[in-house]
């Protein structure tokens, strides 16, 4: 007896899982392409935030030393069900997700967003590591809780959704790189266009998903099942910035008491479905399972690739193919068109049935036994066959990537590698820690004992403090320059005092800041202080520096505006004998420094001891002492 028989005779609940298996093999699903990976964090990993309002959670990243919000979404779940009741509070089964591509740099515990309330809570550091690389790469994001924060109105929403008309199921999901839609009656995917933003044409390239299920019920009743026997009862949708979750409820024709559901996670550049482990018994006599995606005539002129079949033309003509797959294992295949773009699928093929092989049909002649438009352009997927009933426990996870044109087929191997080695995500609660508790930071201009800008600061405690860089700028919009570096105390709970004298200070306005650096190289800036250096009204001779010195020193002095005569600078020993004439000429108004190299008038190095330097200008004579060391 050959032909179709009532499903009530053939199928029970387990057959629903067979159909689910077939729906998955070529479905657009979660892809581990690194720029597009989602990072998913469970509520149970954020124990300190449990019970807090979900609308008071925010995700920040640190990039180039600046904090910024990134797009994210919180999916509330009721007992693990995405479409259950919401209570507005974070529960252990709720999910927070965002994109790895938006993540940033690692932040030290003292680097915090500018929100006081968030300081009263921990924050959660989310680290995502790409372990597929020889040197694993990490990116970071931080989840904060605060009632005083507001959502950045400029945050992107990567996803959009167009609901179907009443009593229909032809809804549309749009990501960054694709538009994906379903048929009105069956809710079966039948439209895929790759966006112009990734180099696609924006034209529909899909005929539909196709499934086949064949066997002998009770050992003698031959049957064939296709996707046309699926009856959609409802579609549930949750739309967010990062993903659209679509749950479709099906009944099998002729057996309204038997149903199945299929939940798809659509992300900006891919989607994901995973069945978990399911059991197929011998009661149904299943001997053939097939699922594929058939494309339309727009894909003519494109190419099909997989590991064993590179550069197969999609032209509506039959091709000789190598059907071998890696079983069990990860396999990939892709269709590629220079105008319309690329669709790459990665699937983990389980060890079920006697043979597992590539399914591929290219036929531009109408086949009355086919579904959809009855034609086949690069119709590709997975075929499982057996001479006896297929039995066993199996699970299926598949990934499809929506890419632009002209991708090297080697990208399939890369995608399969990413599929097998997903990002590793680590969640850690972190408390705000002050590495250096700065008690004060001030600056003032001093004349004695040495002229310059004196900067003073003190710390209450220090943790892993390498030291302080002293930075200065002279214009409000000028560049900062480092004047010097003072070592810190490392780790200390005792107050510490520091000072730095900026002697290179001509009259004007100066702005200073401290760059506190940790032992791991991270740093943070202090507040800024401004100091005015005023022009003296008379001659000034300041203390030399360094003092004591060896071999040379600088002698700073100031010439007032009302003097334009000769300035004489001399060095004397303690007996009053001249050792060196340093200068005997006119100096312009302003601050000057006269260098002494430690030599006498004969060019010989002077001995160590006390020396007197003297400045004579008009009737003014000023003297100071200095010490030379061996």
pLDDT of 262: 83
The pLDDT confidence band at residue 536, using thresholds 50, 70 and 90, is confident
pLDDT digits (tens, 9 = 90+) for 427-479: 999 988 767 888 899 998 887 777 789 999 999 888 889 999 999 998 777 88
Contact 591, 571 (CB under 8 A): no
Q: CA 144 → CA 157, 431, 524, distances in Å?
A: 20, 11, 20
pLDDT of 276: 66
Cβ count within 10 A of residue 474: 13
pLDDT digits (tens, 9 = 90+) for 290-318: 999 999 999 999 999 999 999 999 999 99
The backbone torsions φ and ψ at residue 569, rounded to the nearest 5 degrees and listed phi first, read: -120, 125
126 vs 523, residue with greater confidence: 126
pLDDT digits (tens, 9 = 90+) for 151-186: 999 999 999 999 998 888 999 999 999 999 999 988
List residues bridging with 116 in a β-sheet. Answer: none
Residue 15 pLDDT exceeds 80: no
Residue 258 pLDDT exceeds 90: no
The pLDDT confidence band at residue 26, using thresholds 50, 70 and 90, is very low
d(CA 508, CA 591): 12
pLDDT of 217: 75
Contact 202, 196 (CB under 8 A): yes
Contact 273, 400 (CB under 8 A): no
pLDDT digits (tens, 9 = 90+) for 269-293: 998 887 767 777 777 788 999 999 9
Q: Which two tokens stand for residue 268?
A: 């900006």
Residue 550 pLDDT exceeds 60: yes
What stretches of 164-257 show up as alpha helix (H) in DSSP? none
Which residue ranges form the domains of the chain, and what is each CATH number?
34-155+426-430 (no CATH), 436-533 (2.60.40.10), 540-628 (2.60.40.4070)
Q: CA 344 → CA 2, 245, 269, 384, distances in Å?
A: 37, 21, 11, 21
pLDDT (mean) for 329-337: 96
d(CA 115, CA 12): 57
**Buried-exposed string 19-54: b where 16+ CB fall within 10 A, e elsewhere:** bbbbbbbbbbbbbbbbebbbbbbebebbeebeebeb
Across the chain, mean pLDDT equals: 88
Give the single-character DSSP code of 531: E
Closest CA to 293 of 207, 186, 410, 362: 207
pTM above 0.75, yes or no: no
The pLDDT confidence band at residue 396, using thresholds 50, 70 and 90, is confident
Residue 2 pLDDT exceeds 80: no
Question: Sheet harboring 66-69: ordered strands across?
Answer: 66-69, 57-63, 137-145, 123-130, 424-430
Residue 255 pLDDT exceeds 70: no
pLDDT of 253: 60
- Secondary structure of 305-327 as H, E, C letters: EECCCCCEEECCCCCCCCCECCC
Residue 78 pLDDT exceeds 50: yes
Closest CA to 429 of 44, 40, 39: 44
Residue 256 pLDDT exceeds 70: no
pLDDT of 4: 40
d(CA 126, CA 59): 10
Question: Sheet harboring 355-363: ordered strands across?
Answer: 221-226, 206-217, 286-295, 376-385, 355-363
pLDDT digits (tens, 9 = 90+) for 109-148: 888 998 989 988 999 999 999 877 777 788 999 999 999 9
d(CA 8, CA 288): 19
Q: Can you tell me whether residue 505 is helix, strand or coil?
A: coil
pLDDT of 493: 84
> What sign has the CA pseudo-torsion 605, 608, 612, 613?
positive
């Amino acid at each position: 007896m050959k032909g179709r028989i009532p499903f009530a005779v053939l199928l029970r609940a387990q057959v629903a899982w067979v159909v689910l298996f077939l729906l998955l093999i070529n479905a657009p699903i979660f892809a581990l392409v690194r720029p597009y990976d989602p990072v998913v964090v469970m509520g149970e990993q954020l124990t300190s935030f449990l019970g807090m309002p979900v609308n008071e959670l925010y995700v920040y990243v640190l990039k180039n030393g600046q904090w910024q919000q990134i797009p994210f979404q919180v999916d509330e779940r009721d007992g693990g069900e995405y479409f259950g009741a919401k209570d507005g509070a974070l529960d252990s089964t709720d999910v927070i997700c965002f994109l790895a591509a938006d993540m940033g740099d690692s932040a030290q515990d003292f680097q915090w967003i500018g929100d006081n309330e968030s300081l009263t809570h921990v924050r959660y550091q989310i680290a995502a590591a790409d372990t597929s690389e020889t040197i694993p790469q990490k990116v970071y994001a931080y989840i904060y809780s605060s009632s005083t924060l507001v959502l950045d109105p400029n945050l992107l929403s990567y996803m959009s959704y167009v609901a179907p008309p009443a009593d229909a199921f032809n809804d549309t999901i749009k990501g960054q790189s694709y538009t994906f839609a379903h048929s009105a009656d069956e809710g079966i995917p039948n439209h895929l266009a790759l966006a112009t933003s990734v180099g696609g044409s924006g034209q529909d390239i899909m005929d539909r998903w196709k499934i086949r299920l064949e066997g002998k019920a009770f050992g003698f009743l031959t049957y064939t099942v296709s996707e046309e026997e699926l009856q959609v009862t409802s579609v549930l949708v949750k739309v967010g910035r990062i993903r659209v979750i679509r749950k479709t409820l099906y009944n099998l024709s002729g057996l309204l008491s038997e149903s199945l559901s299929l939940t798809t996670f659509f992300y900006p550049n891919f989607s994901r479905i995973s069945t978990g482990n399911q059991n197929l018994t011998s009661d149904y006599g299943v001997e053939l399972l097939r699922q594929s995606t058939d494309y339309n005539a727009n894909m003519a002129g494109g190419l099909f690739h997989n590991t064993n079949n590179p550069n197969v033309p999609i032209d509506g003509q039959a091709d000789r193919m190598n059907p071998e797959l890696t079983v069990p294992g990860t396999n990939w295949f892709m269709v590629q068109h220079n105008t319309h773009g690329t669709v790459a699928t990665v699937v983990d093929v389980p060890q079920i049935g006697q043979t597992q092989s590539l399914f591929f049909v290219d036929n531009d002649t109408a086949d009355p036994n086919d579904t959809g438009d009855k034609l086949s352009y690069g119709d590709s997927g997975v075929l499982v066959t057996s001479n006896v009933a297929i039995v066993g426990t199996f699970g299926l996870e598949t990934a499809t990537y929506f890419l632009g044109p002209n991708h090297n087929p080697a990208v399939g191997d890369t995608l399969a590698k990413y599929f097998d080695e997903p990002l590793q995500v680590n969640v850690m609660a972190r408390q705000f820690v002050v590495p250096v508790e700065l008690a004060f930071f001030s600056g003032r201009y001093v004349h004695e004992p040495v002229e310059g800008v004196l900067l003073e600061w003190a710390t209450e405690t220090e943790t892993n403090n390498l030291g302080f860089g002293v930075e200065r700028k002279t214009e409000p919009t000028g560049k900062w320059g480092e004047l010097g570096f003072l070592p810190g105390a490392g780790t200390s709970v005792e107050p510490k005092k520091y000072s730095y004298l900026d002697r290179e200070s001509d009259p004007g306005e100066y702005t200073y800041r401290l760059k506190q650096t940790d032992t791991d190289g991270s740093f943070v800036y202090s507040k800024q202080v401004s100091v005015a250096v005023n022009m003296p009204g008379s001659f000034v001779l300041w203390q030399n520096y360094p003092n004591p010195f060896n071999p040379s020193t600088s002698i700073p002095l100031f010439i007032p505006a009302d003097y334009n005569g000769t300035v004489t600078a001399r060095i004397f020993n303690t007996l009053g004998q001249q050792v060196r004439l340093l200068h005997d000429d006119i100096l312009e108004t302003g601050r000057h420094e006269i260098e002494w190299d430690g030599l006498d008038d004969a060019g010989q190095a002077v001995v160590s001891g006390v020396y007197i330097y003297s400045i004579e200008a008009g009737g003014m004579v000023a003297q100071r002492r200095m010490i030379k060391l061996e």
